[in-house]
Structure 1
Amino acid sequence: MKTVLIQPDVKGVNEFHSILSNDLIGYNIVTSVSDVNLSDIHVVIIWLSVPDFLIKLPNLKLILSCGSGVNHIINSSNLPHKIPLIRLVDPYLRNRVADYVVEQILNKFYPTLNLRKLQMDASNVFDIIRKEKLIIGIMGLGLIGSTIAEKLKNLGFEVAGWVKTSKNRIIKDVYIGEDEKVELVKKSNILVCQLPLTRETKGILNINLFNHLPDGAFLINVGRGDHLIESDLLKALEMGKLSGACLDVLEKEPLPENHPFHKQPNIKITPHIAGYIGPETQAPYASKVIMGFFKNEKLKGKVDYNSLY
């Protein structure tokens, strides 16, 4: 019998255990390493940290991470790089972040519209959006970024993307690699950051990048707070390169009371609510991933240890 270990720091660990126990018939589901022999553990589900025993499990076949990103664990010496690591970016999380981005764009540029109106009167709304001819540039087209791109495209927006490597994408207008990054930025009236946080992407939202935007562009950051050089955002607003920004992620959360962003009416701050991680959505998805893995199915969200995301 295969054993799945859910680490105690996983959000809603007891509910997670209950759902997996119901879904994974024939599997042994545990929440403490002391409840099982190390040699019996085949799957481990982690979140905030990498347990020191992980690298010592002789029959470990799969690691699942509850975080939408892995920047907080990827450099751990306890992470065995020979074992597949899958991010549990479930469909609810993808759609929630995408809906958040759509809502912020509507609030900024189409204040009389909302998601409910889009659903009730899609054809007329589509015509309204097409007439504005706004171009939305998305930095990062992973599972979440691709969902954002697809929703915006289906609403009639012109959408372009920037990625590190070349492969099939949900949209056609894609810029690849460092040399083409500026080409995306130059055409983006709205710039959305949904990148993983790596050494290369830390501080990527900076004044050098903002200087290439069309005047009066709008920034949405749903990636990581460390993507943004906060002082450079203030400079870009002062220069008129940016007309405003919506930030769901910040360098320090919650935003300190004396932070200069509080004095900027054109900067909207939300308390890291775009996405959601919880057992009621992640656990059923984890069950599907585990069953798919042992059936040799191709899985989404697999981490590339070389790229560190």
Structure 2
Amino acid sequence: MTQLVLISRDYDMSHLIPPIQRAAPELKVSLYSTAHAHDAEVAVCWNPPAGAIATLPHLKLVHSIAAGVDNILSDPSLPRVPVCRVVDPHHARRMSEFVTWGVLHFHRQFDRVLANQSKEIWLRPQQSDPSRCTVGIMGLGEIGSPVASDLHRLGFAVRGWARSPKNLPGIDTFAGEHALAPFLQGTDILVCLLPLTKATRGILHARTLGQLRPGAKLIHVGRGEHLVPQDLHAALADGRLGGAIVDVFPNEPLPPGDPFWSAPNLIVTPHMASVASPETIGLQVAQNVRRLVRGEPLDNLVDMARGY
């Protein structure tokens, strides 16, 4: 019987035990705090404590419960075993719904309408054709590409920036570090959908935000560590940014009293843009463990050099 252990620093993962066992009743699943956890051959993780994975002497596989694996790869003591991630088949659709809402919120000036309501001001904001609004997507992978295409179909002028060249119908694409500034300079609404790597950590800093068109908006649904909080606060406070929707933060949950709660023209959402269901997580983890046991290629295997 293959044994799995669920490991997280601050997230209760006990609700994942039933769906994993429903998908593969032959597996034994336990929490890291239990007596026999150190006998596990598979570690199923979200934000595990540093060094925890290295305490498993029989480890053969590490499996994230999400698409992101930076919280696992950042551990310098991580054993040299395969790392897999969960790829929810509905992830792109949910993310596109969230981003489309955010783009329409700013394009149709609902931010101004809501601010006016609190002041009892009746003012109809001037509307414009979506083709006059340029949405810039940072990250054109499995999620960013369909998001960009969906916005293009709605009539927005869409551009995208990625590590390597991409070819998407109707989308102006930019690739590589040298192309970042031209990409930003023509953007009205910036959407961050990048993976978290050494190159992208802290990429939403003062220089990046300052290269956008004056009064541009930000929709951040990538990874919390992309963001330099004090730089976003400053850009909102002095008007360089006209508004922002932030779904992911360097430290979650966002604590009471954090300046983000009261930042001007900022909407805080609780990491809800797109989350894999427990059933999807359970099924993909179970399938990969069975593949491991049979010696078959693993699904959604992480490229350790790229970090995703």
The answer to whether TM tops 0.5 is yes
Task: Output aligned runs, 1:126-275, within 5 Å.
Answer: 131-166=130-165, 173-237=172-236, 240-252=239-251, 253-254=253-254, 256-257=256-257, 259=259, 262-264=262-264, 266-275=265-274
Provide the C-alpha distance between the structure 2 equivalents of 1:211 and 1:288, rounded to a whole number of angstroms. 46
SS at 1:160's partner residue? strand
Classify 1:22/1:137 alpha carbon distance in 2 versus 1 (closer, same or farther; 3 Å).
same
Q: Following TM superposition, by how much is the alpha carbon of 1:86 offset from its aligned partner in structure 2, in angstroms?
A: 1.5
Give the percent of matched residue pairs that are identical in Structure 1 and Structure 2.
Answer: 31
Question: Structure 1: which amino acid aligns with 2:209?
Answer: F
Cα deviation per residue 1:32-55 (whole Å; 9 max; x = unaligned)?
6865995x83x432222142334x
Q: Deviations over 1:137-160 (max 9, x none)?
A: 111233333343243234333322
Quote the offset at 1:277 in angstroms. Answer: 4.8
- Is residue 148–residue 171 contact of structure 2 (8 Å, CA) maintained in 1? no
- The answer (yes or no) to whether the contact 1:53–1:78 under 8 Å persists in 2 is no
4+ runs of 1 displaced by more than 4 Å?
8-15, 32-38, 128-131, 166-172, 288-298
What do residues 42-92 of structure 1 show as CA deviations (whole Å, max 9, x unaligned)? x432222142334x327x2x32111442222213244233x3212213134
Q: Match for residue 86 of structure 2?
A: 88
Which residue matches 1:106? 104
User: What is the Cα deviation at residue 238 of structure 1?
Assistant: 5.1
The corresponding residue for 2:118 is: none
**Residue pairs, 1:112-127, within 5 angstroms:** none
Residue in structure 1 matched with residue 24 of structure 2 by the alignment? 24
Distance 1:36 1:197, change over 3 A: closer
Is contact 1:211–1:241 with CA below 8 Å preserved after alignment? Answer: yes
In the alignment, the residues of structure 1 paired with residue 173 and residue 289 of structure 2 have an alpha-carbon distance, to the nearest angstrom, of: 32
Pair 149,299 (structure 1): closer, same or farther in 2 beyond 3 Å: farther
Q: CA deviation at 1:194?
A: 1.8
SS in 2 for 1:152: helix
Residue of structure 2 in register with 1:57 after alignment: 58
Asked if the contact 2:46/2:71 (under 8 Å) is kept, the reply is no
Separation (CA, whole Å) in 2 of partners of 1:295 and 1:102: 42
1:97 Cα deviation from its structure 2 partner: 2.8
Q: Compared with structure 1, are the counterparts of its residues 5 and 170 closer, same or farther at alpha carbon in structure 2 (3 Å cutoff)?
A: farther
- The alignment partner of 2:53 has SS state of coil
What runs of 5+ residues in structure 1 fail to find an aligned partner?
A: 113-127
The aligned length equals: 284
How far apart in 1 are the matches of 2:170 and 2:86? 23
CA RMSD of aligned residues (A): 3.5
- In structure 2, relative to structure 1, the CA distance for the partners of 1:131 and 1:221 (3 Å cut) is closer
- Superposition TM-score, scaled by structure 1 size: 0.75
Counterpart AA for 2:43? V
Counterpart of 1:31 in 2: which secondary structure? strand
- Equivalent position amino acid for 1:186 in 2: Q
| Aligned-partner SS, 2:232 | helix
CA distance in 1, matches of 2:29, 2:89: 25
Q: Secondary structure at the match of 1:138?
A: strand
Aligned partners of 1:270 and 1:140: how far apart in 2? 21
Q: Residue 281 of structure 2: SS of its match in structure 1?
A: helix
1:178: how far off? 0.9
**2 CA distance for matches of 1:296 and 1:232?**
46
1:233 deviation in Å? 2.7
Q: Kindly indicate whether the alpha-carbon contact (under 8 Å) linking 1:45 and 1:65 is maintained by their aligned counterparts in 2.
A: yes
SS of the counterpart of 1:20?
helix
**Gapped runs of 5+ residues in structure 2?**
111-126
SS at match of 1:105: helix
Residue by residue, what CA displacement relative to the aligned partner does 1:124-181 show, whole Å, maximum 9, x if unpaired?
Answer: xxxx996533221111233333343243234333322222234677875332221111
Distance 2:187 2:161 in 1: 11
TM-score when normalising by structure 2: 0.75
What is the CA distance between 1:282 and its match in structure 2?
1.7
Asked whether the 8 Å contact 2:217–2:242 carries over to 1, the reply is yes
Amino acid across the alignment from 1:152: L
